[in-house]
């Protein structure tokens, strides 16, 4: 079987049609150049060049072999370049999981920053609930994940990507919509759209803890999983809700968003999570970009 050095020698002579120029192009002398092509011709069992003291011409076999040899060399060069880029953490595929709510604001900003910093990387995005993201990390289906809340698992590491306040979502015609800001006490006994205790456990516990600390008990009418579904019921006038500030980006007509004044912060946190033993250098680049966005 021929090797790449023989192909490079043949391509140089075929393109230059002159052994002297081809040897100079390859930084070698003519005798070893001639030997490489002779070996290649023996391996292929075909004469590739017609040589005389005055000229060099491609044979029919040489003309047929030249584009194939050029293609093989280009593929080898591309493979080597991609491999170096992947090893250096500048190319490859990064599989990133995310929750639906993170797509309202943080994920678009992260994707924009990542593509600007890593233009040769293919970013594969997968919307999944936190439980499925954790399973994806552990099975290798994901390289990193944006989850709520922080996951405690001995095989995983995490860093905070976002901490945003909760805001009140009020029907635009509701009396509370006229106020510049609300407090937990405004929700006492009020019709309320809550988060499902199992499917949306993180937000359910966050909101329940906030009301418990304030000694307030709203009147829960519905328990839903998705924030956009909760806002749809608010728009219908069914009740009030608390949502992460990024939900304002959804621009629900008929819904007024108001700041929530609290004695202490109860932020909704988003965590970037990855395997401790990951072998994808793109994860480290992602961590750096997330850190820059946080700060």
Averaged pLDDT for residues 35-52: 91
Task: Report yes or no on 161 lying in a domain.
Answer: no
Q: What are phi and psi of 128, to 5 degrees?
A: -150, 150
What pLDDT, on a 0 to 100 scale, did the predictor assign at position 251? 87
List pLDDT tens digits, range 106-136.
Answer: 999 999 999 998 888 889 999 998 889 999 9
Last residue of one domain, picked from the residues 36, 59, 87: 87
What pLDDT, on a 0 to 100 scale, did the predictor assign at position 78? 72
What pLDDT, on a 0 to 100 scale, did the predictor assign at position 208? 95
List pLDDT tens digits, range 185-215.
Answer: 999 999 999 999 988 999 999 999 999 999 9
CA neighbor of 8 nearest in space, from 91, 85, 74: 74
Containing structural domain, residue 260: 166-266
- Non-local (6+) Cβ contacts of 253 within 8 A are 235
Overall domain count for the chain: 3
Task: Report yes or no on 160 lying in a domain.
Answer: no
The packing angle between helices 4-16 and 30-44, to 10°, is 110
Q: Are residues 144 and 275 in the same domain?
A: yes
Q: Are residues 285 and 251 in the same domain?
A: no
Q: Are residues 172 and 244 in the same domain?
A: yes
Tell me which H or E stretch contains 129: none
What pLDDT, on a 0 to 100 scale, did the predictor assign at position 91? 62
What pLDDT, on a 0 to 100 scale, did the predictor assign at position 90? 66
What pLDDT, on a 0 to 100 scale, did the predictor assign at position 49? 92
- Specify the 3-state DSSP secondary structure of 64: helix
Q: Are residues 45 and 98 in the same domain?
A: no
In the chain, which residue ranges form alpha helices assigned H by DSSP?
4-16, 19-25, 30-44, 60-87, 106-117, 130-139, 201-214, 227-235, 281-294
Question: Six-digit token pair at 35?
Answer: 């030997």
List pLDDT tens digits, range 72-105.
Answer: 888 888 777 666 766 666 668 899 999 988 989 9
Q: Are residues 144 and 230 in the same domain?
A: no
């Amino acid at each position: 079987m021929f090797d790449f050095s023989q192909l490079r020698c043949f391509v140089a002579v075929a393109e230059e049609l002159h052994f002297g120029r081809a040897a100079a192009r390859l930084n070698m002398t003519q005798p070893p150049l001639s030997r490489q092509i002779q070996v290649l011709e023996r391996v292929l069992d075909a004469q590739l060049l017609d040589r005389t003291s005055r000229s060099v011409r491609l044979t029919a076999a040489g003309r047929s072999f030249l584009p194939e040899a050029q293609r093989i060399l280009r593929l080898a060069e591309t493979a080597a370049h991609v491999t170096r880029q992947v090893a250096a953490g500048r190319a490859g595929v990064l599989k990133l999981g995310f929750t639906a709510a993170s797509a309202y604001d943080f994920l678009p900003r992260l994707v924009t920053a990542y593509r600007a910093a890593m233009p040769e990387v293919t970013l594969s995005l997968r919307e999944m609930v936190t439980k499925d993201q954790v399973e994806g990390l552990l099975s290798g289906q994901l390289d990193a994940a944006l989850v709520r809340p922080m996951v405690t698992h001995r095989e995983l590491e995490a860093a905070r990507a976002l901490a945003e306040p909760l805001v009140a979502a009020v029907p635009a015609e509701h009396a509370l919509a006229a106020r510049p800001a609300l407090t937990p006490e405004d929700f006492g006994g009020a019709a309320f759209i809550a988060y499902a205790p199992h499917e949306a456990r993180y937000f359910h516990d966050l909101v329940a803890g906030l009301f418990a600390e304030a000694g307030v008990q709203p009147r829960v009418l519905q328990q839903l999983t998705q924030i956009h579904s909760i806002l749809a019921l608010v728009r219908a006038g069914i009740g009030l809700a608390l949502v992460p500030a990024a939900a304002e980006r959804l621009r629900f007509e008929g819904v007024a968003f108001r700041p929530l004044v609290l004695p202490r912060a109860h932020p909704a946190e988003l965590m970037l999570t990855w395997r401790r033993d990951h072998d994808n250098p793109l994860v480290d680049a992602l961590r750096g970009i997330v850190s820059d966005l946080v700060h």
